[in-house]
């Protein structure tokens, strides 16, 4: 499967727990983006990463959220001490860079109970 | 402040007719524009894009028009088919340096009626 892979597809966490969302980019893509879609909203940019580097995290909440894209393995979006307001669909996209189109994964739907 | 605006939350079009989805932007630095289609519970799927050096790009039934002076772009789908029913997102980016994350509009839900 050559597409962007996200897992899990659905994640349920209790308030205060940690959520880890994984994203494997398309083969040959070294740029990864995370977006969040809240109910009735469009997609909001969170963070842009290249291998081992955070390029732009201007859309990330200042606390509890972090992202990484290690040299080996998938990109991880980590949310610590989740709250109900974190419930959303989180989408990862990848691109080869240079301003080309980004291709999205199917998303992880996080529900905080 | 929304930099990319899709002012129509929904649009209903009869099968076989033309669907026109509109998008306005405020950031004059945007130089690359894209349309994505999204079905429920799936990720957005790239449809078509246009660079700011062009005013039109066509791919099969899909055509995107860009009017830079008006900061407006539109997606035309003709003829519209039932499978086109989805949410369509307009997106824009600044290329050539810095972060090239996409800025999305809130989407327009297109409903194709038989």
Q: What is the tens place of the pLDDT at every residue in A69-105?
A: 998 999 999 999 999 999 999 999 998 876 667 889 9
Q: What span, in angstroms and rounded, lies between the C-alpha atoms of A88 and B101? A: 19
Quick check: B40 contacting A, CB < 8 Å?
Answer: no
Q: What is the residue whose two structure tokens read 């002012």?
A: B7
Q: Which chain B residue has its CA at the smallest distance from A33's CA?
A: B101
Inter-residue contact A107 to A25 (CB < 8 Å): no
Q: What span, in angstroms and rounded, lies between the C-alpha atoms of A47 and A34? A: 5
Inter-residue contact B103 to B43 (CB < 8 Å): no
Residue A47 backbone dihedrals phi, psi, to 5 degrees: -155, 150
Region B67-73 average pLDDT: 97
Residue A33: cis peptide before it, omega within 30 degrees of 0: no
Quick check: B103 contacting A, CB < 8 Å?
Answer: yes
Q: What span, in angstroms and rounded, lies between the C-alpha atoms of B45 and A97? A: 18
Cβ contacts of A97 on chain B, cutoff 8 Å:
100
Q: What is the tens place of the pLDDT at every residue in B32-50?
A: 999 999 998 889 999 999 9
Q: What span, in angstroms and rounded, lies between the C-alpha atoms of B35 and B6? A: 12
Q: What is the tens place of the pLDDT at every residue in B1-17?
A: 679 999 999 999 999 99
Q: Do A104 and B100 touch (CB under 8 A)?
A: no
Mean of the per-residue pLDDT values for chain A? 91
CB burial of residue A16 (10 Å; 0-12, 13-18, 19+): exposed
Question: Would you tell me which residues 23-42 of chain A have a C-beta closer than 8 angstroms to some C-beta of chain B?
Answer: 31, 33, 35, 41-42
Task: Please give the pLDDT value at position B98.
Answer: 39
Task: Please give the pLDDT value at position A1.
Answer: 47
Quick check: A56 contacting B, CB < 8 Å?
Answer: yes
């Amino acid at each position: 499967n050559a597409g962007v892979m996200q897992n899990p597809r659905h994640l349920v966490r209790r308030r205060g727990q940690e959520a880890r969302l994984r994203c494997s980019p398309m083969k040959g893509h070294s740029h990864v983006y995370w977006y969040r879609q809240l109910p009735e909203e469009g997609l909001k940019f969170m963070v842009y990463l290249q291998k081992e580097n955070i390029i732009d995290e201007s859309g990330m909440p200042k606390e509890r959220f972090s992202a990484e894209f290690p040299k080996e393995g998938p990109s991880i979006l980590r949310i610590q001490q989740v709250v109900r307001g974190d419930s959303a669909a989180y989408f990862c996209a990848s691109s080869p860079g240079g301003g080309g189109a980004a291709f999205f994964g199917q998303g992880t739907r996080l529900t905080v109970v | 402040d929304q930099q990319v605006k899709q002012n129509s939350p929904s649009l209903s079009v009869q099968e076989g007719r033309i669907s026109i989805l509109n998008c306005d932007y405020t950031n004059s630095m945007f130089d690359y524009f894209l349309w994505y289609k999204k079905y429920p519970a799936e990720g957005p799927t790239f449809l078509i894009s246009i660079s700011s050096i062009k005013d039109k790009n066509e791919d099969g039934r899909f055509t995107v028009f860009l009017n830079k002076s008006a900061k407006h772009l539109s997606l035309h789908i003709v003829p519209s088919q039932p499978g086109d029913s989805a949410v369509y997102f307009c997106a824009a980016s600044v290329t050539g340096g810095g972060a090239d994350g996409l800025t999305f509009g809130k989407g327009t839900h297109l409903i194709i009626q038989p």
